[in-house]
Amino acid sequence: VSSYLIRPAHPEETPAVLRLWRLAGAHPSHTDDEQSIGSLIARDPQALLIAVDGEQLVGSLIAGFDGWRGSLFRLVVLPERRRSGIGRALVAEGELSPRERGAIRITLYAIREETEALDFWRAVGYERDERLVRFVKDLDLAASAG
């Protein structure tokens, strides 16, 4: 039987969150570091949700609202705890705060080849938007610091 609770992560849990992402094989992202997670929690203490079973972190989700759209990032469940509803519960919880703050739509990015993740998002009520292409630009930190 799966027992866990979902709550916002505390700043001191940042190393455990990074460890979960590594253990769960989450795609490395530019902001997988203590400083980035610390500034996320400082800006929005509700944004980083974790699923916790006793002392163990078993899942995570970043759910934010930028004043325009709700966004989800870093949905990760520990491999040995998958298919027991933790992902679904994290998403349900993550939708609450953007909704309360006025979001009417929530978006997220998924990797095209990761068909299991795509199946998950469909199962929890998200629709694939075929009209869109993602554009990114990496800001040159060295240049702006100089």
Ligand X SMILES: CC(C)(COP(=O)(O)OP(=O)(O)OC[C@H]1O[C@@H](n2cnc3c(N)ncnc32)[C@H](O)[C@@H]1OP(=O)(O)O)[C@@H](O)C(=O)NCCC(=O)NCCS
Give CB contacts under 8 A, 24+ apart, made by 129-134.
134/109
CB 117 to ligand X: min, Å: 4
For 19-109, list the strands marked E by DSSP: 48-53, 56-65, 70-77, 106-108
Asked if 76 touches ligand X (CB under 6 A), the answer is yes
Instruction: Output the CA angle 40-5-70, nearest 5 degrees.
Output: 40
CB 95 within 8 A of CB 63: yes
- 3-state DSSP assignment of residue 144: helix
Write the interaction track for ligand X spanning residues 10-39; mark x where CB under 6 A is met and - where it is not.
--------------x-x-------------
Q: Which stretch binds ligand X (CB under 6 A): 35-43, 62-70, 85-93, 130-138?
A: 85-93
Q: Which stretch binds ligand X (CB under 6 A): 7-15, 63-71, 115-123, 136-144?
A: 115-123
| Residue ranges binding ligand X (CB under 6 A) | 24, 26, 75-77, 82-88, 110, 114, 116-117, 119-120, 123
